[in-house]
Structure formats: structure tokens, C-alpha cells
């Protein structure tokens, strides 16, 4: 699997799953754009490290995925600096846990904007270039929560179900163009996003040790009782970008230890 010369943009790629996807793509020769909303030396250092480690061009481009114009600007700036975009991975995402009646409106708005609407804006912006080239890959990082609900995660569940719907619609609109659109649906993956949930749950379940809490509370719905790894999520993205997946479009790949089998 070589992506030598292909240009890939991964939103929210300074941490966790997005970082692993960018690393995997760079490892196969892709030129990668690392993104987050901040603009620091540490952000640029992530791109520099990937470039050095894999002998590819890697650049950090800041853009806040809660802002429609910045989503589109990320695509436009990448196309201007790299010539075109072959692979778009919509990965940026946040979480907030609260019952609906107490769910803060600003958190709802932020989750819908970052986890769902950004996917629409970046996808809209990459489509003309990918169609013109007759090749492209759009991979959206949805979630098991794109297929199933859990209490207290209304915005996240709504956004991720929306991502799956957007993915299917894009696939139908792009069918036959050489551009595919698919979603990867991870179960629980141990990243900073989930570490926050573990810390919050430990406060609620005083007396439970971490191992017990992870098995019985966090991984309650994940039958394997094991976290998926960021590398395993990246592996599914790599497969969807490969020639073997040319005819796979408008679907989801679950990497969830059996969660959605039930």
C-alpha cells in the first residue's frame, strides 16, 4: 500500500486517533497536513517530526473546525500549497456528557459544529478538486455512537449519526466519479478524549479501582472488554484509502470489539 505523492488532510491530528492516521499515511509516503485549532510551536513540531521520521512533506495548518469558513480555508490553503487534495479524513471531535435537560446549549452547538458540520464544509470544499482528478477518498471518523445511542451523550450521538448520514449521501452523489466516502466507527479507544471520561467516572464511582471501572463502566458495551488502539483505527482508514476499497463507498467499518453486533 503506497500513497507516495498523495496529499492527505487529517482534521484534529495533533492527538489521539487523528495523529495515528496522519502517521500511518506519512509512513506510506503521503504528504500530510496536520491540523488543530491552536497555532503553537508544539503543533508545528508534530508536523516536523512526521516529516523527518518518514521522509515526506508534512505541514501544520491551523483551522478551527467549529468555524465553517476555517473548515473551507483549510482545504483551500492545502490545495494552494500542495497542488491538490487526494485524501480527506474528517477526524476532529469533542465530547460532553450530561442529561438532555441539563446539556449546556454552547456544548451542544460546539459538538454539532465540530463533530458534524465541519465534515460537511470540508467535504463540500474538496469535492470539485477530487472530481476533476477522478480519484479521491473521504473518510469520516464517526463512532459506534453513529450507529447506537447511549444516555447523556445527546449531542455526540446526534452528530455521529449525522456523520453516517452525510457519508452515505456523499457516496451516492459521488458514485462512479472515482471518489469514495466512508465512515469508520470506533468503539472505545484510549485517547485523551476517553481519559477525561475515565477521570470523571472515577469521581462518580468512588471505591472502584481503575481496572474495574474501565471493564465494568467504560467498556460496559464493548464485549471484547478491550480498547481498540489508535493504530487499529488508522489501519481501517488505510484500507479504505487503498485500491482494494475502490468499490467500497457509503458504508461504515466498525472497530468496536463487537459493540454494534448486539
- Summarize as ranges the residues that interact with ligand NAD (CB under 6 A): 11-18, 35-37, 64-66, 91-94, 114-115, 141, 143, 186, 188-189, 191-194
CA atoms within 13 A on the CB side of 94: 17
- Nearest CA to 121 out of 82, 151, 156, 92 is that of 92
Residue 217 Cβ vs ligand NAD, minimum distance, rounded to whole Å: 14
CB nearer ligand NAD, residue 130 or residue 147: 147
> Alpha carbon of 173 to those of 152, 164, 170, 197, 202: distances in Å?
34, 14, 5, 37, 45
Nearer to ligand NAD, 93 or 250 (CB): 93
Q: Which is nearer to ligand NAD, 177 or 229 (CB)?
A: 229
Told to judge if 60 belongs to the known catalytic residues of this protein, a careful annotator would answer no
Interior angle at CA 233, CA 228 and CA 235, nearest 5? 125
CB of 243 to ligand NAD, least distance (A): 25
Query: Which candidate in 3, 60, 82, 156 is catalytic?
Result: 156
Smallest gap from residue 5 Cβ to ligand NAD (A) = 25
CB of 7 to ligand NAD, least distance (A): 19
| Alpha carbon 113 to its chain's center | 14
Measured distance CA(68)–CA(56) in Å, rounded:
29
- The CA distance from 127 to 84, in Å, is 11
Beta strands 31-34 and 58-60, pairing class = parallel
* Nearest CB to ligand NAD, comparing residues 6 and 19: 19
Please count the other Cβ atoms lying within 10 Å of the Cβ belonging to residue 44: 15
Q: Indicate which residues carry an active-site annotation.
A: 156
Amino acid at each position: 500500500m503506497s500513497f507516495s505523492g498523495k496529499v492527505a488532510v487529517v482534521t484534529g491530528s495533533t492527538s489521539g486517533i487523528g495523529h495515528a492516521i496522519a502517521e500511518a499515511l506519512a509512513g506510506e509516503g503521503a504528504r500530510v497536513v496536520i491540523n488543530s485549532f491552536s497555532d503553537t510551536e508544539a503543533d508545528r513540531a508534530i508536523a516536523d517530526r512526521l516529516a523527518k521520521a518518514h521522509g515526506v512533506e508534512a505541514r501544520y495548518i491551523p483551522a478551527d473546525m467549529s468555524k465553517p469558513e476555517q473548515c473551507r480555508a483549510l482545504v483551500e490553503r492545502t490545495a494552494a500549497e500542495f497542488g491538490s487534495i487526494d485524501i480527506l479524513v474528517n477526524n476532529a471531535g469533542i465530547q460532553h456528557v450530561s442529561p438532555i435537560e441539563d446539556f449546556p446549549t454552547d456544548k451542544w452547538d460546539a459538538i454539532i459544529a465540530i463533530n458534524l458540520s465541519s465534515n460537511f464544509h470540508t467535504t463540500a470544499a474538496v469535492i470539485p478538486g477530487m472530481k476533476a482528478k477522478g480519484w479521491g477518498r473521504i473518510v469520516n471518523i464517526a463512532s459506534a455512537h453513529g450507529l447506537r445511542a447511549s444516555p447523556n451523550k445527546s449531542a455526540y450521538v446526534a452528530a455521529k449519526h449525522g456523520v453516517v448520514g452525510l457519508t452515505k449521501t456523499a457516496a451516492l452523489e459521488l458514485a462512479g466519479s472515482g471518489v469514495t466516502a466512508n465512515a469508520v466507527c470506533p468503539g472505545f479507544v484510549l485517547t485523551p478524549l476517553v481519559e477525561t471520561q475515565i477521570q470523571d467516572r472515577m469521581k462518580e464511582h468512588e471505591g472502584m479501582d481503575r481496572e474495574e471501572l474501565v471493564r465494568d463502566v467504560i467498556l460496559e458495551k464493548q464485549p471484547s472488554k478491550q480498547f481498540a488502539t489508535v493504530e487499529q483505527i488508522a489501519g481501517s482508514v488505510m484500507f479504505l484509502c487503498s485500491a482494494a476499497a475502490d468499490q467500497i463507498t457509503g458504508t461504515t467499518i466498525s472497530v468496536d470489539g463487537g459493540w454494534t453486533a448486539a
